[in-house]
Amino acid sequence: MPTALRGHVLECMPTQSGGHGTHHSFRECRFVPQRMSLSEFGLIEVAAVTPELRVADVEFNTARVIDALAACAGEGCRLVLFPELGLTGYTCADLQYQSLLLQKAREALQTIAEATETHGLTAVVGLPLAEAGKLYNCAAVLSGGALLGLVPKSYIVTTNEYYEKRWFTSAFDRTVDSVNINGREVEFGEDLLFRAENLPGCVIGIEICEDLWAVEPPSGQMAMAGATVLLNLSASNETLGKAEYRRDLVRQQSARCLAAYLYAAAGPGESSTDVVYSGHSMIAENGLLLAETERFRFETSFVTSTIDVERLAQERIRNSSFSASRPSKAFRVADFKLPEPVMPSAWQPALHRPLSRTPFVPSDRRETAAHCREIFAIQSTGLAKRLKHTDVNQITIGISGGLDSTLALLVTIKAFDTLELDHSGIIAVNMPGFGTTARTRSNAERLAQLLGVTLRTISIDAAVRQHFDDIDHDETTHNVVYENSQARERTQILMDIANQVGGIVVGTGDLSELALGWCTYNGDHMSMYNVNCSIPKTLVKHLVSWCADEEFSGEVSNVLHDICAMPITPELLPLDEQGGLTQETESSIGPYELHDFFLFHTVRHPFSPRKVFFLAGHAFGSDYSASELLEWLGVFYRRFCAAQFKRSAIPDGPKVGSVALSPRGDWRMPSDASSALWMHEVEKLTELYARPPVGARVRSDASTTP
């Protein structure tokens, strides 16, 4: 039986599968939304196959192709790619001239076409094709029982161990646009693209092995002409170091073309007279390697993955360089219907592609450390540049003992060290109020002392109470006035101290708070330079933890780890009788892990609420019900649209990732845009998949009004 290897998932660590190579497990979901198919979200399950092979045995090779089609169909695949000259074997050499071999390969196309109809998929196989006195190295596209077209290889290689020009003619020298196959005229040429009528954005372009290694691969022209799914039938042999180079080539071409790239390579069943073939098949999408086979396996093996053509189409729209590109040649487009796989009625679509619960945070610890190091350098360098430009050697920063202000303080320390400034020029101001706990205050003050900064502790209780008297507000009414007054008083103190010392105020608010409007306008929303403005909440904790392990040590590290263990809270409501918290942010607005997930897939990939819900179901279905996901999804869209007026007036700060909300950079949105379109879709989803949203869990507080 064929060995199937899944594409990896970012939140799962790879495990070994009984000697069959690395595979990656997928998170079990408590629910998979019913009546949702992959295709409605622009998703398609694909496979790259390295079949068991006997050189020159067309009947055997055809049978293995059909076996693989059945196995791939069982995985829900709709598009399956096979290697170069896979029906005969790439290494047939002068046997490629044999009329019987050529005839049998031609006849095999009908058998494979029938199998595509039986299993409900599209297959692309390789074969030699004699036509008009020339022999071509071809890819045949078969779907739903029919042969759709034949694409000949363009770059015929004759270098070192390769002798293809001895047998094959380049597509550049073809003399016909169609060929007769088994009594039917079929489109023929390297200028063919195949467009799936029933999957918007899915256009298939095909190149063969050496085409990819050329200075200007044909796939680049195909991508500019609209191809989003690029296929390569290959017979690349192995030499030392070639696998890594090949992997990078596939990955980089998928990035350059903003496309999915499937690469199916000939395996060790090819002749080993002079070289060895490993069967290195891969699937990549826009620079990310989704899956690859284990090499040097004689039995049939394949990798499957879910590719997102909707995402690719959106990436192209947003990329001005791509939209300005034009192909230098014309292409013929063959329209066809991409078959639906024949599956049991109880089968549910699976998502086999990287889908992290924390898209801003890599799952691999080593990768996370590298990201944190880079982000920390960007933040601190941005602040250092601002200090150099303003000729300032003193700053003020509010420290609460929470994650955001702690990260901002650590970034400031790094910036001061970069500029060789004394830490005493950092005036860290702790401003305890009605909701400040002893633990957070102690951590803030202890951290300031350990880092050698100038600590000032200023209680805001009396000032805020005076303000309540001035505006005739009842202190027992814990509403938006009660909370915002504290935030604005703290900002006033920071601004005034900055004026006293001739410095600037460093902001501490993060990207997630900006997205949700969880900040007080002209309060904690304001500063003179915000180092955290593009750091989402899920990443802030990792950065502080990384600093504790990598940048600092001893007692400083202990304090940082304790801060990471604290619940997220603005500490604006009075404490209980035991001095404990009565306010936690995520109880009011929802889990940040969900909101950051929603933010990423709404801004970085402008998906519809339906698709975001579908993805969230796969990522979080083991921990949240459909009702919970839809409730917080509704909260996200409502708050995101309502909070734009705050984002339109944010201070400067460095961009660190692919998602940022600066009105001067990545995100431009009218402050009075309606959320109705998105909320209506969430409401329809709720009717279909969940109980009515609770709603009452969202209070009217400092985050929902100015």
Contact residues for 665 (Cβ-Cβ < 8 A; gap 6+) = 655
Distance CA 409, CA 519 (A): 19
Q: Which of 216, 243, 219 is nearest to 229 (CA)?
A: 219
Q: Which of 158, 166, 152 is nearest to 93 (CA)?
A: 166
| Residue 420: per-residue pLDDT | 97
Distance CA 200, CA 310 (A): 8
- pLDDT band at 38; cut points 50, 70, 90: confident
Give the helix ranges, DSSP H, for 565-698: 585-589, 592-599, 609-620, 626-642, 644-647, 676-689
- pLDDT band at 35; cut points 50, 70, 90: low
Q: 249: helix, coil or strand?
A: helix
Distance CA 73, CA 424 (A): 67
Q: What's the DSSP call for residue 189?
A: S
| Residue 129: per-residue pLDDT | 97
Q: What does the pLDDT look like over 496-545, one tens digit per residue?
A: 999 999 999 999 999 999 999 999 999 999 999 999 999 999 999 999 99
CA distances from 247 to 84, 227, 254, 287, 466 (A): 17, 21, 11, 11, 67
Lowest mean pLDDT among 27-41, 156-170, 474-488, 603-617: 27-41
| Residue 252: per-residue pLDDT | 97
Q: Which of 581, 591, 511 is nearest to 543 (CA)?
A: 511
pLDDT exceeds 80 at position 28: no
pLDDT exceeds 50 at position 17: no
Q: What percent of the chain has pLDDT over 70?
A: 91
Find out whether 138 and 153 touch, Cβ atoms under 8 Å: yes
Lowest mean pLDDT among 6-15, 35-44, 480-489: 6-15
Distance CA 189, CA 171 (A): 7
Question: Which two three-digit tokens encode residue 649?
Answer: 């007036």
CA 118 to chain CA mean position, Å:
34
Q: Which of 61, 1, 22 is nearest to 269 (CA)?
A: 61
Q: For residue 183, which amino acid is it?
A: G
Question: Which two three-digit tokens encode residue 558?
Answer: 């202990």
Find out whether 152 and 126 touch, Cβ atoms under 8 Å: no
Find out whether 336 and 195 touch, Cβ atoms under 8 Å: yes
Distance CA 124, CA 435 (A): 65
User: Which residue of the set 11, 75, 84, 190 is catalytic?
Assistant: 84
Distance CA 209, CA 218 (A): 11
CA distances from 101 to 63, 86, 150, 465 (A): 16, 12, 18, 93
Q: What does the pLDDT look like over 607-662, one tens digit per residue?
A: 999 999 999 999 998 899 999 999 999 999 999 999 999 999 999 999 999 999 99
Q: What does the pLDDT look like over 304-360, one tens digit per residue?
A: 999 999 999 999 999 989 988 999 999 999 999 999 876 655 556 678 888 899 999
Q: For residue 274, which amino acid is it?
A: D
Q: For residue 557, which amino acid is it?
A: S
Contact residues for 75 (Cβ-Cβ < 8 A; gap 6+) = 4, 45, 47, 304
Find out whether 438 and 563 touch, Cβ atoms under 8 Å: no
Q: Which residue has tokens 């039917």?
A: 184
Give the mean model confidence (pLDDT) for residues 36-53: 93
Give the mean model confidence (pLDDT) for residues 466-473: 96
Report the sign of the C-alpha dihedral through residues 192, 195, 196, 202, in that order.
positive
Q: What does the pLDDT look like over 250-289, one tens digit per residue?
A: 999 999 999 999 999 999 999 998 889 999 999 999 999 9
- pLDDT band at 22; cut points 50, 70, 90: very low
Of residues 383 and 16, the one with the higher pLDDT is: 383
pLDDT exceeds 50 at position 487: yes
Distance CA 661, CA 449 (A): 34
Helix orientation angle between 554-564 and 537-546, rounded to the nearest 10 degrees:
160
pLDDT exceeds 60 at position 145: yes
| Residue 654: per-residue pLDDT | 96
CA 65 to chain CA mean position, Å:
32
| Residue 584: per-residue pLDDT | 81
pLDDT exceeds 80 at position 595: yes
Give the mean model confidence (pLDDT) for residues 22-33: 39
pLDDT exceeds 50 at position 699: no
pLDDT exceeds 80 at position 195: yes
Distance CA 49, CA 339 (A): 19
| Residue 110: per-residue pLDDT | 96
| Residue 692: per-residue pLDDT | 53
Give the mean model confidence (pLDDT) for residues 66-93: 95
Q: 148: helix, coil or strand?
A: strand
Does the annotation mark 84 as catalytic?
yes
Within a 13 Å sphere around the CA of 522, how many CA atoms are in the beta-carbon half? 3
| Residue 160: per-residue pLDDT | 75
pLDDT exceeds 80 at position 581: no
User: Which residue of the set 209, 257, 547, 641 is catalytic?
Assistant: 209
Find out whether 660 and 360 touch, Cβ atoms under 8 Å: no
- pLDDT band at 15; cut points 50, 70, 90: very low
User: Which residue of the set 72, 131, 153, 187 is catalytic?
Assistant: 153
